């Protein structure tokens, strides 16, 4: 694994992007690497390393099949870039994770991207990805 990125799952994407754009610009001099309003996706790097990702909460709910709303809904997701999504998913399951969405290619998200989604023992969402 070479990347561990916090991903905030947000309802009000425009307001949240505006907030982090201003805060990260003013405090760290960092501009977003990518903002895709139609996909409700934005991310920032610091010193060439992923630092923060925002993603529409309903987007991930479609992937995971979650119907939770309000405080019970997912608001954060830990993203791990791994060499092999299938092997890593197996490893997490052996350690107690619960599979939510099986390993699968996601060319609609990015060329060569493969993901799996699992929940840790306390129910937090984890995305494994390789690209």
pLDDT tens-digit map of 74-95 = 888 888 888 999 999 999 999 8
Whether residue 56 is predicted with pLDDT greater than 70 in this model: the reply is yes
Whether residue 4 is predicted with pLDDT greater than 80 in this model: the reply is no
- Residue corresponding to tokens 């923060």: 52
Q: What pLDDT is attached to residue 28?
A: 81
Beta pairing, strands 3-10 & 49-56: parallel
Whether residue 20 is predicted with pLDDT greater than 90 in this model: the reply is no
pTM: 0.69
* Sign of the dihedral through C-alpha 127, 24, 42, 74: positive
- Residue corresponding to tokens 């994770």: 97
pLDDT, tens only, 96-114:
899 999 999 999 999 999 9
Whether residue 123 is predicted with pLDDT greater than 90 in this model: the reply is no
Q: Which of 34, 42, 117, 131 is nearest to 78 (CA)?
A: 117
């Amino acid at each position: 694994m070479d990347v561990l990125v916090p991903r905030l799952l947000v309802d009000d994407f425009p307001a949240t992007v505006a907030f982090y754009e201003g805060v990260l610009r003013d405090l760290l001099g960092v501009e977003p690497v990518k903002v895709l309003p139609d996909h409700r996706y934005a991310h920032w790097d610091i010193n060439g390393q992923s630092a923060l990702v925002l993603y529409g909460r309903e987007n991930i709910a479609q992937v995971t099949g979650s119907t939770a709303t309000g405080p019970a809904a997912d608001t954060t997701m830990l993203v791990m870039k791994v060499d092999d999504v299938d092997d890593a998913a197996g490893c997490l399951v052996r350690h107690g994770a619960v599979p939510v969405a099986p390993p699968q290619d996601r060319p609609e998200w990015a060329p060569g991207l493969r993901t799996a989604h699992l929940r840790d023992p306390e129910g937090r969402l984890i995305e494994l990805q390789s690209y």
